[in-house]
Structure 1
Amino acid sequence: MLALSAAAPAAAGLSTLAASPGLATSGSTVPAKIHFRTQKVGDVEVFYREAGPADAPVLLLLHGFPSSGHMYRDLIPHLADSYRVIAPDLPGFGETAAPPREEFTYGFATLATTMEGFVDALGLERYAIYIFDYGAPVGLRLALAQQDRISAIVSQNGNAYVEGLSQGWSPIQRYWREPTKENREALRIFQTPDAVRQQYVMGVPDPSLVSTDGSNLDSFFLARAGRDEIQLDLILDYRSNVELYPQFHAYFRTRQPPLLAVWGRNDPFFLPAGADAFKRDIPGAEVHFFDTGHFALETHHQEIAALLRDFLGRQKL
């Protein structure tokens, strides 16, 4: 969901380090080849990771705050033998361009529109989405716009229900109600290196299992000039996602998309009730909980990959 200023490798070097190829769950002995590419969408140069056969069913991985497509570094190799896996960095995150705020509106409608342009530019006629944190409202807005093209939804701590919001949202909700300078400044704490690290380890029984790679990389990107104000703009606009919850629910009820929820049950931001709530609108939704926190892939990527392969294997992708 919701920064570390230090000497760090150049962005190109970080891209290389992010690969971490591994072996697919299917037992393939060929390491996955992950490509690092860019795609121009309007005025934004979108950076993305891609692996798998060009003609395979597509899975679009949408990250959250404060991360980037790097958060999927361990999951991608487990899927790339059977799926075309694509993980873009959202505008203002990771290595995707961050246009000045005077030229680009940092809100979730704009992020979704950029992703719609991205999938169109890549020619993705049909695809499943894996949504996490901020990637959930982005992906669900995309689903509303391209309903016939969404083959399945996987939500990993990607909330769409009011009951899924924890008390940790209280200072953010105060900013929504009263968007004063004081309330905005109070939220800068979410971007400090310590706060970023806490998002990775809170709720994890053994924090020593969580690498510092992800949180350090997130903090590196958050420390770039202008990113702090971009993130505060997005925090304020998150209220527009909550306002859209009824439309998301109507989409679920009407379209009944195949849905798998894989959730860190100890998430301090998005509660298990938010995962169970999917069943209210999609009775066939499959919900699984893991004894971990917000960034469940950091500790359970193998288990989640196995559930993903089983779930996707039963869908008409």
Structure 2
Amino acid sequence: MLPKLAAHFRVIAPDLPGFGQSEKPPPARYAYGFQAFAESLVDVIAALGLGPISICGHGMGGSVALTLAARHHALVDKLVLVDPIVYPPRVDLLSRLANMPVVGPFAFKQLCGRTVFRSYFKDRVYAPNATIPWDRVDHHFDVFNAPAAREAALATLRAVADTRPLVALLPRVTAEALLVWGRQDRTLPVGQGRRLARELRSARYEVFECGHSPAEESPDAFADITTSFLSR
């Protein structure tokens, strides 16, 4: 999907702090959450000398993109939001563990192994009939399995559990948006997408026949519709 977009646009795919190959500072030094992530992207934009950008965010990344657009209007030209977390999701095992007092952090950091991780992707991310890229899922687990990464993930899950501050920012978003949702998303029901499309000032809403990850499950269709939207 990224090579298709890169044929038409300059594409930059940053890892947020705490994730992927980025630094994973302890929560005492970095306030994991939508606002902190958005401000980190402001730093990236400034460091690369970019003008107004089009930003694409999936899941929590969509929430970060909305926060950036609400707080820094001049930096965001267009938004591509893929199943973003804006309204309370259906609570899953990992989220329940993260928010349990005392025992939660221990269980999340010590007991959440590859089997639990794989089950989460199978039951919550991909559509029931999807072909799951287990190599990719296992790579995500290997990155997550480092102690600093687990600590960052726990802090993030706790910080984003309350989405009300993000909902309050929606009236401040002025950028034109393409909103893409998977009809079979088992974490964020498709009705949440319809609600968000109504609340944004200028949003085009598209529903794909897939789960929570349209860009992975329908990469060609996603690249085509995104290219069309960004080229207008």
TM-score interval (norm. to shorter): 0.7 to 0.9
| 1:82–1:138 Cα change, 3 Å | same
Where does the alignment leave 5 or more consecutive residues of structure 2 unmatched?
none
Q: Does 1:311 align with 2:229?
A: yes
* 2:80 matches 1:166: no
Query: Which residue pairs with 2:214 in the alignment?
Result: 296
Higher helix share: 2
| TM-score normalised per structure 2 | 0.86
- 2:134 is matched with which residue? 212
| 1-structure distance, mates of 2:39, 2:67 | 9
Does structure 1 residue 93 correspond to structure 2 residue 19? yes
CA distance in 2, matches of 1:307, 1:220: 32
Superposition pairs of residues 170-249 of structure 1, within 5 angstroms:
172=96, 175=99, 180-185=101-106, 187=108, 191-202=112-123, 203-207=126-130, 209-247=131-169, 249=170
Q: In structure 2, do the counterparts of structure 1 residues 167 and 104 end up closer, same or farther at CA, with 3 Å as the change threshold?
A: closer
Aligned length: 230
Letter of the aligned partner of 1:246 in structure 2?
A
Asked if the contact 1:174–1:183 (Cα under 8 Å) also holds between the matched residues in 2, the reply is yes
Could you tell me whether the CA contact under 8 Å between 1:92 and 1:98 is conserved in 2? yes
2:11 aligned counterpart, secondary structure: strand
Q: Which residue in the other structure is 2:172 paired with? A: 251
Q: Which runs of 4+ in 1 moved over 6 A?
A: none
The structure with the largest alpha-carbon Rg is 1
Change (3 A) 1:192 1:297: farther
SS at match of 1:226: helix
Looking at structure 1, the residues matched to 71 and 165 of structure 2 have their Cα atoms a distance apart, in angstroms, of 17
Helix, strand or coil at the partner of 1:161: coil
- CA RMSD of the aligned region, Å? 2.6
Highest relative contact order (Cα 8 Å, sep 6+), 1 or 2? 2
CA distance in structure 2 between the partners assigned to 1:199 and 1:302 by the alignment: 25
Instruction: Please say if residues 172 and 187 of structure 1, whose CA atoms lie closer than 8 Å, have aligned partners that are also in contact.
Output: no
- Given that 1:134 and 1:158 are in contact with CA atoms closer than 8 Å, whether structure 2 keeps it comes out as yes
